[in-house]
Amino acid sequence: MEANHPIEKKQSKLPVAACFVVIVLFLALLLPFLSSCSIFSSEIVLEELNIDVYVGKKGVTTFTETAVANFSEQDTDWWNFYRIIDDKRVAKSQDSFDVVGNRFYYDGMPIDFVGAIDLDQTGAKEKCLRTYDSPVGYFYARSNGVEIGVIMPEFTSGTHTISYSYSIKGIITDVSDASVFYYKYLSEINAMDVNKMHVEVNFEEAEPDLCGWLHVSSSAVGVWVQSEDKKSAIIDVEDISAGEYVESRFLLENGRYEYASIDQSRAKIQIIEEETAWQENYEKEVRIRLAFTILDYILAGLAVIGGVIYVIYAKRHNKPLDLPDAPIYYRDIPEGYTGGEVSPLYFYYSNENYIDESISATMLELVRLKYITILPDEGKKSAVITVLRKDEADELRTHQKYVVDMLLMVKPLGTGFTMKEFESYAKTNYERFMHIVEKYKDAILNKSQRDGDYRKNNPARDKAQKFSTAMIIAGVIVLILSGFSFFLFSQGMSFFAAGLIIGGLISYLLLRKEKAPLTLTGQKEYNKLHALGKYMQEFSLLAEHEIPALAIWEDYMIFATAMGIADKVAEQLEIAYPEFKNYSAKGLGMDADNFLILYFFSRSFRGMTGLNFVGNVANVIRSVNIAQKAAKAAEMARSAFSGGRGGGSSFHGGGGGFSGGGFGGRR
């Protein structure tokens, strides 16, 4: 008779349980009661465990075990490796257990067997390390079973192979119409993870009607198959976590084995019915777990989708005011604004970094106000900036004063310097430079804030933060509850918890910079600025237009610089003033009075002097940011260094056979 069951790859609890860091301290208190839970992984791992079993005709079963153990580098105080056979029937009967003394091996080399040693006695470790200078095998019979192992005086980390043999009498049980070999190769006391386990159970005679079952814990996956000659059964199991068991039960031909225990109260059919019931319960558990898993995935997906939907909803209800009288083109320079002050309002909804454009526009204004000059050097290869005077009459606005102070940091009044010198100074004194940049940014923002262009609060962002917080808190709660659920039922809703957290993070990250719509006043000014930008860029396309005065175009170009559209507006200048199209540095004297005309009208002048203001200022700020980050990284580094015909798959059940115990070490 065969018991064929589908092999179901079950998810290991170990990697999932790692998610529950928030309750590790609480779980540590329950460690004595939860020793069978795989969250407490072993300190070493058995890469391979090979067990060769010979069921003798006289009822004596011999086990030869070879363990390939991987010890990590921190396991320097390991000095013995042992296996516990936790079966009281073995401990009570002295003649039921025997160690094969000449079959102890360490890393492939035979080692001596020194007999019984109680390593739990006080001073046992020190005595053994004094007595033995090379690995030796030992055993000791305790009240609850037998300990068999190897003492390793000269232990080194890495992979070691330990092998030994022992025999047990009386494992076979005769029922009314069959003999039963029922053995637990690893019990719940096993303290080590096992990656691969291979068991070969050999019978003295062929078992043509072999019927068997393999039982494993929830995270392990196993299968057994009968050999072609029907004299052995091969068992392979993978992913056995510490605290989990592996056992098999085989029904053999009755009456072949001497010294078998007798249990006439049971029959073969009863055992088959028992195994069938366990199998059905297992399959029911699988279906329930599958349903929970599917529900977990669905809820996780819905949680993530919910976060995305909320983002879409929030953005739709956070649109700018739609004013029906918004102009398409606007020709007038905004009243009350300097060029540098329009950048925050013009780029309000785009979330762009406008500080480069704003500072560049302010520098052009200072040239026009004759506070600074920007001229080519003698070689006409770079621009030279010179601060001519301070604001003694208090005619400059606050942000303009900050730019003057910024330039005076490099060189004093009347002393010229290049943009490279400016950049070098800023990189060397990045904290002072960025401090002034931040004060400049606050100053240009104050203009729109004072005029009532911005809302005092941001309802959209506040609601998004509340939504995100609620999602993340719900995810953490579900995660904690899933941790308890895994201990109690081996099932949780970790993906749902992750979905809630991810959905919350998505809504937070996508909405954290969401800006509230401008006020009515601010929206009107915003519309005018964009209409002005459109007019400056499309001036030549208008059917009817007046050519603005040259002085107005200077204002336009300053505002265009603040809006980041100066190059496109310069093309309109060539159309409006064709007589200036071929202006060059030789055509006009390179003095302060002609600078703006040359800069705006002559591409050759801009190229010759390297006067790409926005690009130059952007390079300075970018270089300063890099220098600042590098300095912080260096500081962090300094701080860190200072401080097969018959066969079947596995399922749950069992618990009635001999126990083979588990592995341990490190006393």
**Percent of the chain beyond pLDDT 90?**
26
Q: Is the pLDDT of residue 638 over 80?
A: no
Which one-letter DSSP state was computed for residue 519?
Answer: P
Taking the CA atoms of residue 204, residue 208, residue 209 and residue 210 in that order, the dihedral angle to the nearest 10 degrees is 50
Tokens 């954290």, residue located: 512
Residue 36: is it exposed, middle or buried by C-beta count within 10 angstroms (0-12/13-18/19+)?
middle
Residue 592 has a pLDDT of 56
Helices (H), 184-338: 268-316
Tell me the average pLDDT across 62-90: 80
Average pLDDT, stretch 142-166? 87
8 A C-beta contact, residue 55 and residue 201: yes
Could you report the per-residue pLDDT of 615-631, keeping only the tens digit for each?
566 667 777 676 666 66
CB–CB of 545/509 below 8 Å? no
Average pLDDT value for residue range 293-312? 92
Domain boundaries, the chain: 13-266+649-665, 339-455+517-611
Express each pLDDT in 23-38 by its tens digit: 433 333 333 333 333 3
Nearest to 465 by CA among 525, 512, 430, 404: 512
pLDDT at 2: 42
On whether the CB atoms of residues 186 and 105 are closer than 8 A, the answer is: no
Q: Which residue from 181, 151, 662, 619 is spatially nearest to 383, judged by alpha carbons? A: 619
pLDDT at residue 34 in the model? 38
Could you give the percent of the chain with pLDDT greater than 70?
78
The pTM for the full model equals 0.57
CA dist 97 and 100 (Å) reads 10
* CA–CA distance, 252 with 247 (Å, rounded to integer): 16
pLDDT at 491 over 80: no
What's the fold here for domain 13-266+649-665?
A: Immunoglobulin-like (2.60.40)
Separation between Cα atoms, residue 9 and residue 290, nearest integer Å: 12
Name the band, by pLDDT with cuts 50, 70 and 90, for residue 7.
very low
Which of 46, 91, 83 lies closest to 64, judged by CA? Answer: 83
State the residue for tokens 């019931």: 277
Angle in degrees, CA 199, 203, 208, rounded to 5: 105
Q: What DSSP string describes 65-96?
A: EEEEEEE-TT-TT--EEEEEE--HHHHH-GGG
Which candidate, 438, 356, 427, places its Cα nearest to that of 614? 356
Cα of 429 vs its chain's centroid, Å:
36
Which pairs from 282-285 meet CB under 8 Å and 24+ separation? 282/651, 282/652, 282/653, 283/651, 285/652
